[in-house]
Amino acid sequence: MENLLQQLLNGITWGSIYALVALGYTMVYGVLKLINFAHGEVYMVGAMAGYYAAHALGVAGTPSLGALLLVLVVSMAACGLLGALIERVAYRPLRGADRLAPLITAIGVSLLLQNAGQLVFGADPKFFPALLHSEELVRVGGIAVSNIQVVVLATALALMAGLQYVVQRTRFGRAMRAVSYDAPAAALMGVPVDRVILGTFVLGSMLAAAAGILVGLSNPKIDPLMGLMPGLKAFVAAVLGGIGSVPGAMVGGLLLGVIETLVTGYLSSTYRDAIAFVILVLILLVRPTGLFGAPQTEKV
């Protein structure tokens, strides 16, 4: 029982990172109907930007919450810019082209970032600077809660709450929902569609950067290919929750993290990577629109 609760806690922590990345997939899919396969690489760049920022700002050796916050902000800003650049260079020129063309540029951007990462960062894993001293915060009935888990969860939840506010309560959020609902109609109503799409990429990339930093905290080995598998699985999480749905991505991410941790803990660690895809295929067969997606009727 204690073991189960411990696994659940670990799963939720890991799942909150999936959720942050999944949000970027789902938001971009919402406004562009594009599966942005370069998103996992933005998450990787987030972790790397954090690595360099911590060293450049001289906070790599002095762990504190302030240091973490500083690195987080720098990395999110850097990735926000990167997201805007990717959208501007690789996707905007293909607006209106066949829907498959941007899928190929997405793959191109993903390859580009991986290889640029290997060139700049080196192919070998490096250790993310310890921005926080790992310590056991409390122990409730045999479950150890570390300060890192608390920080990861709190940051992720705060960012999701912030996102929910932006999407539901601001002008930009309303524009985003309008574009996602019907882009041509939104354009007719005077919504600057291109700017909204750009903003969506910036927002999604910032969340991915935060996920990169949080992974660096709890799992410090980082390398230029670290975005591949988690990126794909975060995408699975987005589909699980219902692609295009913001609350869906949050729930899907947490759920996937928990399921994966439980499978690793109780069944078999070798099938860890397969479980996400089995869930993916099952959910597609049973309910393709995911947990939170509204079923679409086909118009003839």
Binding positions for other proteins, rule: CB under 8 A: 33, 35, 37, 89-90, 93-94, 97-98, 100-101, 103-105, 107-109, 111-112, 115-116, 118-119, 228, 232, 235-236, 239, 243, 270-271, 273-274, 277-278, 280-281, 284-285, 288, 298, 300
Q: Which is nearer to other proteins, 148 or 243 (CB)?
A: 243
Report in angstroms how near the CB of residue 283 gets to other proteins at its nearest: 9
Report in angstroms how near the CB of residue 36 gets to other proteins at its nearest: 12
Report in angstroms how near the CB of residue 161 gets to other proteins at its nearest: 29
Per-residue HEC secondary structure of 270-289 comes to CCHHHHHHHHHHHHHHHCCC
Q: Which is nearer to other proteins, 97 or 154 (CB)?
A: 97
Question: 125-143: buried (b, 16+ CB within 10 Å) or exposed (e) per residue?
Answer: eeebbbbbeeeeeeeeeeb
Q: Contact at 8 Å (CB) between 63 and 130?
A: yes
Report in angstroms how near the CB of residue 145 gets to other proteins at its nearest: 32
Question: Amino acid letter at 137?
Answer: L
Q: Contact at 8 Å (CB) between 237 and 115?
A: no
Q: Which is nearer to other proteins, 57 or 116 (CB)?
A: 116
Q: Contact at 8 Å (CB) between 153 and 147?
A: no
Report in angstroms how near the CB of residue 243 gets to other proteins at its nearest: 8
Question: 238-271: buried (b, 16+ CB within 10 Å) or exposed (e) per residue?
Answer: bbbbbbbbbbbbbbbbbbbbbbbbbbbbeeeeee
- Between CA 177 and CA 26 the distance in angstroms is 12
Ramachandran region of residue 280, left (φ > 0), alpha (ψ -120 to 50) or beta? alpha
Report in angstroms how near the CB of residue 107 gets to other proteins at its nearest: 5
Q: Which is nearer to other proteins, 76 or 109 (CB)?
A: 109
Cβ of 296: how many Cβ atoms within 10 Å? 8
Report in angstroms how near the CB of residue 298 gets to other proteins at its nearest: 7
Q: Which is nearer to other proteins, 216 or 253 (CB)?
A: 253
Q: Which is nearer to other proteins, 93 or 142 (CB)?
A: 93
DSSP state of 202: H
Q: Which is nearer to other proteins, 5 or 274 (CB)?
A: 274
Q: Contact at 8 Å (CB) between 245 and 12?
A: no
